[in-house]
A and B are shown apart, each in its own frame.
Chain A
């Protein structure tokens, strides 16, 4: 999911990354609406609200929204910076894992703060929403960057546009068996349903376990990190075995 970059990624890599991260984004967005009355996985609405607040002359609210948008931008910026400055075959997994780890840290911080320190003041709300937007920016920047913009999981505007385009292509017979188009539709549908599922589950969970929902989000992101880590360990184990076998075999050859 995280080890491969750009065009070296397979459809399966993108599908796994897309569905898991979309699931966590759906969870984050719904929980932020329930707790803070603000969307945190997308900024399109925030741009509209910013314009509206400026038009109304509500400078304070406008400034809050502008800082939120900046935090989403900062998340994307940080994510891509980490990726492009550490794009070496050996450090690639680490470079791709750090944004997920930072995202996890941000969301865990929000969960812990909500559980133990939150007094429901407006300043706290604004700050925690900003932290969640930064986390979502990190995720979106990572998925878009490593997948050549094929996977974007925190907002569904572009995805719905692409789905509309892909399904319109299917109205022509010649495209119905096009493997690339079919895979694209599968990927987009996978992300869409996963985002929805994350949102629904988050909504249901919050009323049962409240702030512990953030632990579940952390676990989903942990699965993204550990899946590739385990794959790397298996690969290294196989490589070690193979090299020791080859060494032994060459020694045997020499003796013979």
Chain B
């Protein structure tokens, strides 16, 4: 059996992976900046008869009561590892954030030592989608979608 082509294939694959790691932006850098909450939806539900996957304002408030995050318009991820929740341009809370796993877990450390984990479904230059489990009313996975606020626009807003 000729082993040369096999070794070459795997060496190339490894080199390609290393190149991707060096060339592509990691989720940790992509997430930096200001993000505006645009939608809350149920991703999955274990209630077959529930037709609507959209989460209305009342449901949202009910869910928020049972998790630590505050209802905020804007999430600001700072490079120093702090996350600020802003509402009407005022900081409501500051906490620590970090990304774990292969870049798929967003961990938020609150000041009272409580840690919350969100699954990062997607993080691109324009969009951030995170999920968390909710056990309220109906058990399901809640999907939060954010849109990036361009730096200029945010400065103008302030």
Quick check: A67 and B18 within 8 Å, CB to CB? yes
Distance (Å) between the CB of B152 and the closest chain A CB? 27
A-B pair count, CB < 8 Å, reads: 67
> Given A60-B26, A61-B27, A123-B26, are A67 and B21 also a contact pair (CB < 8 Å)?
yes
Quick check: A49 and B28 within 8 Å, CB to CB? no
CB-nearest residue of chain B to A70: B14
Quick check: A63 and B17 within 8 Å, CB to CB? yes
With a cutoff of 8 Å between Cβ atoms, the chain A residues found around residue B28 in the complex are: 121-123
Which applies to chain B's interface (DSSP): helix, strand, loop or mixed?
mixed
Q: Counting CB contacts under 8 A, is B87 at the interface? A: no
Top-6 shortest CB links A-B: A63-B20, A37-B101, A63-B17, A122-B28, A120-B98, A60-B24
* Bound Cα distance from A122 to B81, whole angstroms: 11
* Bound Cα distance from A126 to B26, whole angstroms: 11
* Bound Cα distance from A56 to B25, whole angstroms: 16
Q: Counting CB contacts under 8 A, is B102 at the interface? A: yes
The interface of chain B, by Cβ under 8 A from chain A, is 13-14, 16-18, 20-21, 24-28, 81, 98-105, 107, 117, 122
CB-nearest residue of chain B to A61: B102
Q: Counting CB contacts under 8 A, is A82 at the interface? A: no
Q: Counting CB contacts under 8 A, is A65 at the interface? A: yes
Q: Counting CB contacts under 8 A, is A125 at the interface? A: yes
With a cutoff of 8 Å between Cβ atoms, the chain B residues found around residue A62 in the complex are: 17, 20
* Bound Cα distance from A245 to B27, whole angstroms: 71
With a cutoff of 8 Å between Cβ atoms, the chain A residues found around residue B122 in the complex are: 56
Quick check: A65 and B102 within 8 Å, CB to CB? yes
